[in-house]
A and B are shown apart, each in its own frame.
Chain A
Amino acid sequence: MIYIFSFTIIYTFIRQREKILSKKRNLALYLLLSVSGLALGIVYLLNPYLPSITTVMEKYMK
């Protein structure tokens, strides 16, 4: 999925570059969200057995 998502992000950038580049705020938001999403994907790809947020919360809330 990460490859499909990477491709889609690049494709969206090319298709909507006028809107994204029209304001610095748009570009910053697009980059921030894209990098965050891809980072989440890469971490999951490297280690799919990471404990989930709920597991961590369950551990500390008890």
Chain B
Amino acid sequence: MNREVTLRQITFMYLFISISSILRQMPQMLAAEAGRSGYLSPVWSILATVPLTAIVILLIKSYPGLNFYEIMVQLTGKFLAKLFILLYLLWILLAITAKVTAYSLTMQFTLMPKTKSDFFMAIMIVLVFYALIRGIKTIFRFSELTLGTVLVFFAVLFLCAMTRIRRDYLLPVQTIHLKSTILASKYVIAIGGNIILALFFADKFGVTVTKQQLRKLWFGLLTFTGLAFIITLFSFGISGTSLTANLPFPFYITVKSISFFNIFERFEVFVTLICILSDFAAIAIFAILLMRCFTWAFGLTEYNFLYTPLTVIIFYLTYYLSSTQFEFNYLYQYIIVNLNLVFQYVIPALLALLCFLKRKQIKKQY
């Protein structure tokens, strides 16, 4: 069956949009919160991400062919569903704005420090606009094609960097650090929660979703955890915890010292490029989610005319939200991470609970 979006594409997209946050914010936050033992936090994150993936699978299996809004309508009623969708709409608006800010700051920190953020944002707007005109499938295909290359690049990078890891930067780790590593894992969990993306596109998978297709989500989660662990390990092991905690893009500095047998160097440019591509995919996919939320909340049949006014709002909101790297770090650490936990974990968990309570009724229906 020719489906508009497959679970495989969702998994690839989930991994691809998570990469920029894994490279940029995660090592810094883990180093600041948990210190030397912070690289263990991605391992603890599975305690939350595994149940979330199970919840996503439960909801997809219980309501085949229905999307997030329709599932909410079935479980909570139309009024509450619309209310939740409005909240999700605001959260996605904030997430896009934060992504755009992070992208501009990355460009200024790495390649073009003297260029104004307006320029970067204008370029991103044009690219995202073009991708949106081409349709959902183009964006998913783009991430599907790019992710493989990115993973191979990371494999080469890690092989080259293996000898540069300093053990004294990573060890010793004692049981006294357990609490701080568990608490710090919320920064990994807040990124890993992007897997709820599958619920927003659940109506595109078709009525029959096989076990094999659902297994792709577990594969995505496993790859995410592995990637988060390895990137943090290398950042801490090469740059050290104190440097990692104080840099806006620690992995960029980490890869600066790596070369491939003196033949191939300046990996940092590739890392920046990967971040830009990941941000592009994330902004494009969040824009689609925003439009879907508008469609669900206001009962729209057409939404293309909303692109322009929403672009204007997002563009200026980036200035109102945070204007410097320090402000953005604060925003990410205290606001975005906590909001992500609520929207990616608390609300889906409530829905799963309702789904569990209404399971007899659901079985009769399907």
Residues of A within 8 A of B (CB): 1, 5, 8-9, 12-13, 16, 19-20, 22, 25-26, 29-30, 33-34, 36-38, 40-41, 44, 48, 50, 52-55, 57-58, 61
Residues of B323-351 at the interface with A, using a CB-CB cut-off of 8 Å, are 323, 327-328, 330-331, 334-335
Contact indicator B316/A29 (Cβ below 8 Å) = no
Contact indicator A40/B316 (Cβ below 8 Å) = yes
B319 CB to nearest A CB, Å? 6
Bound-complex Cα distance A42 to B241 (A): 43
Cβ of B309: which chain A residues have Cβ within 8 Å of it?
9, 12, 30, 33-34, 36-37
Q: Check A9/B319 contact, CB under 8 A, given A29-B298, A58-B330.
A: no
Query: Which residue, A1, A13, A54, has most C-beta atoms of chain B within 10 A?
Result: A54
Of all chain A residues, which has the CB nearest B328?
A: A54
Residues of B within 8 A of A (CB): 118, 122, 294, 298-300, 302, 304-313, 315-317, 319-323, 327-328, 330-331, 334-335
Query: Which residue, B304, B327, B334, has most C-beta atoms of chain A within 10 A?
Result: B327
Q: Is the interface of A mostly helix, strand, loop or mixed?
A: helix
Cβ of A26: which chain B residues have Cβ within 8 Å of it?
300, 302, 305
Cβ of B319: which chain A residues have Cβ within 8 Å of it?
44, 48, 52
Closest 3 CB pairs of A and B: A37-B312, A33-B309, A40-B316
Interchain Cβ contacts under 8 Å between A and B, 28 examples: A5-B308, A5-B312, A5-B315, A16-B304, A16-B305, A25-B299, A26-B300, A26-B305, A33-B313, A34-B308, A34-B309, A34-B312, A36-B313, A37-B311, A37-B312, A37-B316, A40-B312, A40-B313, A40-B320, A44-B319, A48-B319, A50-B320, A52-B320, A52-B327, A54-B322, A54-B331, A57-B331, A57-B335
Bound-complex Cα distance A5 to B317 (A): 14
Contact indicator A25/B320 (Cβ below 8 Å) = no
Q: A16-B305, A30-B306, A40-B312 are in contact. List 16 more A-B contacts (CB 8 A).
A: A8-B308, A8-B311, A16-B304, A19-B302, A30-B305, A33-B310, A33-B313, A34-B308, A37-B310, A37-B313, A37-B316, A44-B320, A52-B319, A54-B322, A55-B327, A58-B327
Which of B306, B312, B330 has a CB less than 8 Å from the CB of A41?
Answer: B312
